Amino acid sequence: MSLRTTALAKSALFFLLTTSNFLLPSSAGAQSKAKQRPWMNTSLSSDQRAAMVVKEMTLDEKISLLHGTGMVGLSPMSPLAIHSNGGAGYVVEIPRLGIPAIQMSDAAYGVRMSGENGRYSTALPSCIAGAATWDLQGGYEYGALIGRELRAQGYNMSLGGGVNLTREPRDGRTFEYMGEDPVLAGKMVASVIKGEQAEHVIGDIKHYALNDQESGRNAVNVNIDERAARESDLLAFEIGIEDSDVGAVMCSYNRVNGDYACENKYLLTDVLKRDWNVKGFVLTDWGGAHSTAKASAAGLDQEQPGWIFYGDELRKDVESGKVPQAELDDHVHRILRAMFATGVLDNPPQKSVVDVERGFEVAQKLSEQSIVLLKNEGGQLPLDASNVHTIAVIGPHADVGMISGGGSAQVDPPGGNAILPPGKGQTRWLEPVWFPTSPLKSIRAKAVGANVQFDSGADPAAAAALAKTADVAIVFAYQWESEDMDLPTLSLPEHQDELIAQVAAANPHTVVVVESGGPVTMPWAGHASAILEAWFAGSKGSDAVANVLFGDVNPSAKLPVTFPRSDADLPHPTIVKPPKQSIPNSTKGDVWKQIAAGLPPFQVTYGEGVKVGYKWYDAENKSVLFPFGYGLSYTTYSYSNLRVTAGKNPQVTFTVTNTGNRAGAEVAEVYASLPAAAAEPPKRLVGWSKVPLKPGESKEVTVDVDGKFLSIFDVKQHGWQLVPGEYNFMVGGSSQNLPLKGSVSLN
Ligand code: BGC
């Protein structure tokens, strides 16, 4: 029997043994079990249920919940790892008490590792694309789809929920996060987590905190002042956590103000568990633990993926009293509480066939809602299929696929990487994966009568020659991103700027579709007639793009990040790279041991503080390529009748009108500037509403503004404070187009 078959047989046996404990129809046996396991009484609170289990547990059982069972290359491996469902994390079951295993899978934009497990997962548009919809209901559907597919594949915990702010847009994980604004990012991630947890999987929010660059992530020490941290990166987590009752928080690899995030008392206890009153548990990023007693006292609950510090070492520290029993019990309680609260025990996952059709439907709908129309000169778009006779489709691999985000977020495409031969396209770390969603095919399907030709763009002159012969040239450009790397620059790679410039010079009707995980620079923007930002568009990306190009869908997305003019305009023109001594050296033994021991730190200082994204460009008076909150539509909107009502949570009321002749949905954005005494950047987003409108229709909209979003973080009082004075509210369709203005006095 192979290892895997043994594992399957064992888990089947375990399943029979454990499920029979509480899934049998009402019988004397079941009733006596229920008596023995009073925590299976669903009328009790999750805290009561967790407390009952903790009371029954032995020290060994407690310790077993506080760590994983290993991952090759990152920690030692336990023989018990054969019971893993094949995801990134596995915490053993406690059959004696009917506590199931925690089977964790990465699931940023879909369930990871489906390829090597012989399963299928839907790729949603990347997380930043989700944020570009500004649609909380859409965010919920995003999470619910992930939750359903996790359950169908046998998992009960997600490792998604990335919400680090786009402080450094060259961060290779920008696509996994929700953009540069804490209110938008926090609200969106909360809606995703709510969708996941409603499907009875434990949700996770990560990477807490300030893990804003990949370069030297296991060594870097991030320096930031407390007020700036609380009002920027931490506020995104605060909102995400507050709105979702998330089961788990993953602490990050980096150090923050001197201490590793996973043993940082300020982050884990003072802020997370005390100020925010988080009831869930804190688990390390993979290999993010560096101590036992220090981490435990700081508030770390679970080590992943192994047990370097939270196995025997923890047991010894508990036995010697170095780690108090109450502290140990609190770690255990939090994990059990998350399991009860999300229904992991009451509604265990049932393996089944992933609903591929439903996945396609949701992925396409969300992708359509996430595509941002950045430029549309002379109404170039939408294309009229009956009137376009020749189309040149140009760009790397635009005949077969669209690029996807890499690293631990990677979803495996059905059939493998679309640019590799069948059977050869397995996902590999740090290799770009193209999804089999073909722009060429989708465009051909729309423009049935047209002559649609393809050129890869490898030779820009040949591509330009083809473009010259066509009514319209559509260039698909890409910028790949992945965990474990940062982009050297926001410029497009592989001479794509030159390709686009040559095509645009050859054809005045050049449309550029950008597939990227975040902002890119566009030296050719003045020459293309239309530009779409399609992000990493997911399983049905090409159909979604075609629906926008040909007007079946009216674009309604808005940028969740600023597109700067050049790298030089960023707060940090270059990313600080780790010195040699801060990089693990495989010739000096196991890399994971060096990381666990702690690599010598190097410093990154976020002197720009709270000025992240548009707050930076506003404060520094720098013009940008496309501002935060910007996005066009095939119709037009007007704003009128602003009224602001003062109060603890002020209300901002206004009217939005669709002044064009197509139905659409406008993201109406509300910004505020604080009194001068607050010493804040010129404005901040404080709310929004996505308003569907028929042609000619007007709607009155009221946005309730949370008083916290108008406050500053007062370090001395250690809390949010409203600075008394005049507050200016601005309303409109982007951070730089705010036609309505009104002020109120607040105190
Ligand atoms: C990533 C996490 C991920 C974990 C497990 C780490 O490398 O930073 O986001 O959840 O691996 O795969």
- Using the CB atoms, write b or e for 642-679: b if 16+ within 10 Å: bebeeeeebebebbbbbebeeebbbbbbbbbbbbeebe
Distance 310 CA to ligand 1 centre (A): 18
**Pocket mutation for ligand 1, best pick of 158, 208, 408, 481 (most atoms within 8 Å of C-beta):** 408
Q: Which atom of ligand 1 is closest in space to residue 162's alpha carbon?
A: 9
pLDDT at residue 386 greater than cutoff 90 = yes
Question: Which is higher by pLDDT, 18 or 76?
Answer: 76
Q: How far is the CA of 253 from the centre of ligand 1 (A)?
A: 10
Distance 62 CA to ligand 1 centre (A): 24
Q: Considering Cα of 413, then 419, then 422, then 427, what sign does the dihedral take? A: negative
- What residue's CA is closest to ligand 1, atom 6? 286
Amino acid at 215: S
SS (HEC) of 694-733: CCCCEEEEEEECCHHHHCEEECCCCEEECCCEEEEEEEEC
Whole-number Å distance, alpha carbon 262 to ligand 1 midpoint, is 14
CB contact burial 698-734 (16+ within 10 A = b; e otherwise): bbebebebbebbbbbbeeeeeebebbeeebbbbbbbb
DSSP-assigned states of every residue in 226-251: HHHHHHTHHHHHHHHHHTTT-SEEEE
Atom of ligand 1 nearest to the CA of 305: 5
Sign of CA dihedral 214, 220, 224, 226: positive
CA–CA dist 324, 309 (Å, integer): 16
Taking the centre of ligand 1 as the mean of its atom positions, its distance from the CA of residue 105, in whole angstroms, is: 10
Amino acid at 685: L
* 390 strand-pairing partners: 451
Q: What is the pLDDT of residue 364?
A: 98
Rounded average pLDDT over 471-478? 98
- pLDDT value for 233: 98
Q: Indicate whether 4 pLDDT > 90.
A: no
Whether residue 286 has its Cβ less than 6 Å from ligand 1: yes
673 lines ligand 1 (CB under 6 A): no
* Cα–Cα distance measured from residue 541 to residue 438, given in angstroms and rounded to the nearest whole number: 8
Res 26 pLDDT > 60: no
Q: How many residues does the chain have?
A: 747
Using pLDDT thresholds of 50, 70 and 90, give the confidence band for residue 22: very low
Distance 102 CA to ligand 1 centre (A): 16
688 within 8 A of 703, measured Cβ to Cβ = yes
Q: How many CA atoms lie within 13 A of 243 on its CB side?
A: 24
Ligand 1 mean position to 512 CA, how many Å? 33
Q: Which of 71, 146, 286 to mutate to test the pocket of ligand 1 (most atoms within 8 A of CB)?
A: 286
Centroid of ligand 1 to alpha carbon of 118 (angstroms): 21
- Average pLDDT score, the chain: 95
Give the closest residue (by CA) to ligand 1 atom 7. Answer: 286
Residue 8: per-residue pLDDT: 33
DSSP assignments along 571-585, one per residue? SSSSPPPPPGGGS--
For residue range 190-227, list pLDDT tens digits in order.
Answer: 999 999 999 999 999 999 999 999 999 999 999 999 99
d(CA 390, CA 449): 9
**Cα 302 to ligand 1 centre (Å):** 14
Angle at 741 between CA 739 and CA 743, to 5 degrees: 175
Q: Does ligand 1 have an atom closer than 6 angstroms to the CB of 228?
A: no
Q: What is the model's pLDDT at position 30?
A: 52
Could you check whether the bond before residue 190 is cis, i.e. omega within 30 degrees of 0? Answer: no
Query: Is residue 224 within 6 Å of ligand 1 at its C-beta?
Result: no
Atom of ligand 1 lying closest to residue 204 CA: 10
Q: How many CA atoms lie within 13 A of 222 on its CB side?
A: 32
Q: In angstroms, what is the span from residue 637 Cα to ligand 1's centroid?
A: 42
Strand partners, 704: 651
User: What CA–CA distance (Å, rounded) separates 301 from 295?
Assistant: 8
Residue 463 CA, chain-centre distance (Å), reads: 35
**256 φ/ψ angles, rounded to the nearest 5 degrees:** -130, 120
Least confident range of 8-22, 238-252, 525-539: 8-22
What spacing in Å lies between the alpha carbon of 212 and ligand 1's midpoint? Answer: 14
Residue ranges of the alpha helices (H) in 153-181? none
Please tell me the distance between residue 192's alpha carbon and the centre of ligand 1 in angstroms.
18
Q: What is the rounded distance in angstroms from the CA atom of residue 237 to the CA atom of residue 217?
A: 19
State how far the alpha carbon of 322 is from the alpha carbons of 65, 206, 296, 327, in Å. 19, 29, 10, 10
Ligand 1: which of 102, 285, 411 to mutate, most ligand atoms within 8 Å of CB?
A: 285
Say if CB 309 and CB 72 are below 8 A apart: no
285 CB less than 6 Å from ligand 1?
Answer: yes
Q: Above 70 in pLDDT, residue 9?
A: no
CA dist 67 and 424 (Å) reads 35
Among 72, 146, 430, 483, which is best to mutate for testing ligand 1, by the most ligand atoms less than 8 A from CB?
A: 483
88 lines ligand 1 (CB under 6 A): yes
Give distance in angstroms: CA of 429 to centre of ligand 1: 12
pLDDT at 74 over 80: yes
CB 374 within 8 A of CB 557: no
| Mutational pocket test of ligand 1: of 91, 157, 159, 206, the residue with most ligand atoms within 8 Å of the beta carbon | 159
Worst-scoring range by mean pLDDT, 1-5, 439-443, 532-536, 677-681?
Answer: 1-5
**pLDDT tens-digit readout, 284-340:** 999 999 999 999 999 999 999 999 999 999 999 999 999 999 999 999 999 999 999
Output the pLDDT for position 32.
62
- Angle at 64 (CA atoms; ends 60, 70), nearest 5 degrees: 135
502: DSSP letter: H
**pLDDT at 25 exceeding the cut of 60:** no
Q: Is 90 in the pocket of ligand 1 (CB under 6 A)?
A: no
Q: How far apart are CA 659 and CA 9, in angstroms?
A: 64
Q: Is the CB of 252 under 6 A from ligand 1?
A: no
Vertex 455: Cα angle to 449 and 457 (nearest 5): 145
For residues 731 and 669, is the Cβ–Cβ distance under 8 A?
yes
pLDDT of residue 35: 67
Residue 400 backbone dihedrals phi, psi, to 5 degrees: -115, -25
What pLDDT score does 410 carry?
98
Strand residue runs (E) in 459-573: 472-479, 510-516, 530-533
Report which DSSP code applies to 601.
Answer: P
Expressed in angstroms and rounded, the spacing between residue 603 Cα and the centre of ligand 1 is 23
Contact 497, 524 (CB under 8 A): yes
Kindly report the protein residue whose alpha carbon is nearest to atom 4 of ligand 1.
286
Order of strands across the sheet that contains 603-605: 259-260, 255-256, 221-223, 603-605
Question: How much is the pLDDT for 31?
Answer: 59
Give, in order, the Cα–Cα distances in Å from 348 to each of 98, 336, 446, 614. Answer: 12, 14, 43, 44
CA dihedral 128→130→136→141, nearest 10 degrees, is -140
- The ligand 1 atom nearest the CA atom of 252: 8
**CA–centroid distance, residue 285 to ligand 1 (Å):** 6
Would you say the CB of residue 408 lies under 6 angstroms from ligand 1? Answer: yes
Dist. CA 88 → ligand 1 center (Å)? 8
| Contact predicate 739/732, CB 8 Å | yes
d(CA 339, CA 327): 19
Return the residue whose CA atom lies nearest to atom 2 of ligand 1: 285
How far, in Å, from the CA of 591 to the mean position of ligand 1? 16
Question: Ligand 1: does its nearest atom lie under 6 Å from the Cβ of 486?
Answer: no
User: What are the b/e assignments for 333-352, b being 16+ CB within 10 Å?
Assistant: bbbbbbbbbbbbbeebbeee
Average pLDDT over residues 332-361: 98
**In the predicted model, is pLDDT for residue 10 greater than 80?**
no
Distance (angstroms) between ligand 1 centre and the Cα of 467 equals 43
Distance, CA 350 to ligand 1 centroid (Å)? 25
Query: Quick check: 443 pLDDT over 90?
Result: yes
Distance 367 CA to ligand 1 centre (A): 25
First and final CA of the chain: distance in angstroms? 72
SS3 content of the chain, % helix, strand, coil (to 5): 35, 20, 45
Angstrom distances, CA of residue 588 to CA of 219, 478, 580, 585, 591: 17, 38, 13, 6, 8
* Average pLDDT of the residues in 451-461: 98
CA of 408 to the centre of ligand 1 (A): 6
E-strand stretches of 578-714: 603-605, 637-645, 651-658, 664-673, 684-693, 698-704, 712-714
pTM: 0.95
Q: Ligand 1 atom closest to Cα of 484? A: 7
Which residues on adjacent β-strands are paired with residue 724?
Answer: none
Residue 480 burial (CB < 10 Å; 0-12/13-18/19+)?
buried
Residue 734's alpha-carbon distances to 50, 93, 454, 611, in angstroms, are: 47, 50, 35, 18
Nearest CA to ligand 1 atom 3: 408
Q: Residue 320: what pLDDT? A: 98
Q: Which pLDDT score is estimated for 1?
A: 30
Say if ligand 1 is within 6 A of residue 204 CB. Answer: no
Residue 198 CA: distances (Å) to CA of 83, 147, 154: 26, 8, 16
Distance (Å, rounded) from C-alpha 685 to C-alpha 274?
Answer: 27
pLDDT digits (tens, 9 = 90+) for 588-627: 999 999 999 999 999 999 999 999 999 999 999 999 999 9
- Ligand 1 atom 11 nearest Cα: 286
Please report, rounded to a whole number, the percentage of residues in the chain having pLDDT higher than 90: 95
Confidence band for 36, pLDDT divided at 50, 70 and 90: confident
pLDDT over 90 (residue 665): yes
* Cβ of 106 below 6 Å from ligand 1: yes
Query: Does the beta carbon of 159 sit less than 6 angstroms from any atom of ligand 1?
Result: yes
